[in-house]
Amino acid sequence: MEKHYHSGVEVTTDLIGGKWRAVVLAHLHHGLRRDAELRRRMPEVGELTLVQLLRELEVEGLVQRHEAAGHEVEFQLTEQGATLGPVLQAMDVWGQAHAARHGLEIQEPGRADTRRLAAASLARGDATGWFEKLYAEAGNGLAQVPWDRPEPTANLLSAGLPAGEGRRALVVGCGLGRDAEYLAGLGYATTAFDISETAIRTARERHPSSSVDYRTADLLAPPAEWRHAYDLVVESNNVQALPRDLRERATASVAGFVAAGGTLLVLAAAADKPSDDGPPWPLTRDEVEAFAADGLRAERVEQLEAVDDPLVVRWRATFRA
Ligand SMILES: C[S@@+](CC[C@H](N)C(=O)[O-])C[C@H]1O[C@@H](n2cnc3c(N)ncnc32)[C@H](O)[C@@H]1O
């Protein structure tokens, strides 16, 4: 019998309404692909249930399977499945905010991945090596990059950036290129760098016809020609991802990219006082204000409640040279 629908929501919930359907689709949307990995991330779901669920999603044209090296089965969203991205993202964002407000704990796999890899790297005295490992594991469907979100944050979108035409922008710790693509879209001649080669390679692959100049570089030892060379510099969540003993150097390096008359935008998680529990290690007000160095002055330092980030209180600060 033909089914009658009475709203679009009914159609959507028919497809993704079952609890585990949306969850498995969200894992696939975030890049997890391996069968064994999906099972590990969904311990409450029995193996047979998961197999059957994936089969159903395949039949419905949302998921496709293929065999990876070593006969391991991999899954990914089909083109049609990928169009559910914004729906899954909205569910995630709303759930994060709700959990934060009600003190519910979310053991997010992406966060667990960063903690696991960072702990091992930091124990070896290597402050940044874990980023490459995380991006590489994510490339193999074994981990999630928690900050790999499809859209720039609301705090960036509403930052009131100056028009980009004829201006040069630099995106620090650009990851997979989301914010760099946004600035290029505003008309900035954009350079974006990250310490992770895999992140930069993936960013180029994701945006094949991009005008962004993606580079592998270290914030703590950047190319000399970048000094005072950019009309806009965007620093989003990178300094907070570095241990506190590197904070002063990292902050000074960011400030040094801004050209005369240029703007620095800093987006970061906020904390009242320094904490050792990280990464990330959210920034205190003093640490945000420390970007006013090398000829920069603070123009606006705002503490905002994030609607789209689990680290609920955030800084948005602009500095001018
Ligand atoms: C927490 S992520 C934030 C990514 C992105 N800026 C965002 O807001 O979504 C930190 C990023 O900084 C990069 N990173 C860490 N240390 C760096 C360094 N010394 N130089 C350049 N990039 C670095 C990491 O590889 C990672 O992509």
Question: Is the distance from the beta carbon of residue 315 to the nearest atom of ligand 1 less than 6 Å?
Answer: no
Regarding the beta carbon of 146 and ligand 1, being less than 6 Å apart is answered no
What would the CATH number be for the domain defined by 8-85?
1.10.10.10
Ligand 1 in contact with 194 (CB < 6 A)? yes
Give residue limits of the domains in the chain. 8-85, 107-146, 154-320
pLDDT band at 306 (very low <50, low <70, confident <90, very high): low
Instruction: Measure 114 CA to ligand 1 centroid, in angstroms.
Output: 12
Whether 27 contacts 42, CB under 8 Å? yes
Q: What is the pLDDT of residue 44?
A: 87
Ligand 1 centroid to Cα of residue 173, in Å, is 4
Q: Is the CB of 155 under 6 A from ligand 1?
A: no
221-238 pLDDT, tens per residue? 999 999 999 999 999 999
pTM of the full structure: 0.80
Ligand 1: which of 195, 212, 265 to mutate, judged by most atoms within 8 Å of the beta carbon?
195
Q: Yes or no: say if 73 and 37 are a contact pair by the CB < 8 Å rule.
A: no
Q: What average pLDDT does the segment 311-320 reach?
A: 87
Res 70: pLDDT? 73
For residues 93-106, give the mean pLDDT: 82
From the CA of 41, how far away is ligand 1's center (Å)? 25
In angstroms, what is the span from residue 190 Cα to ligand 1's centroid? 17
**Taking every pair of C-alpha atoms in the chain, what is the biggest distance, in angstroms?**
72
Quote the pLDDT of residue 309. 55
For residue 284, what pLDDT is reported? Answer: 95
Cβ 219 under 6 angstroms from ligand 1: yes
Query: Cα of 174 to ligand 1 centre, how many Å?
Result: 6
pLDDT of 308: 56
What's the pLDDT score for residue 320? 96
147 lines ligand 1 (CB under 6 A): yes
Percent of the chain with pLDDT over 70: 97
> CB of 175 closer than 6 A to ligand 1?
yes
Q: Cβ(236) to ligand 1 under 6 A?
A: yes
Mean pLDDT of the region 190-198:
98
Sorting pLDDT into bands at 50, 70 and 90, what band is 307? low
Distance from Cα 57 to the centre of ligand 1, integer Å: 34
- Give the residue, out of 153, 174, 238, 240, with the most ligand 1 atoms within 8 A of its beta carbon, to mutate for a pocket test: 238
As given in the structure block, the two tokens for residue 67 are 């065999």
Tens of pLDDT, residues 15-52: 998 879 999 999 898 877 888 878 888 888 988 999 99
In this predicted structure, the answer to whether residue 278 has a pLDDT above a threshold of 90 is: no
Q: Ligand 1 centroid to 238 CA: how many Å?
A: 5
> Is it true that domain 154-320 has CATH number 2.60.120.1090?
no
Structure tokens at 252: 């000074």
- Two tokens at 33? 């692909």
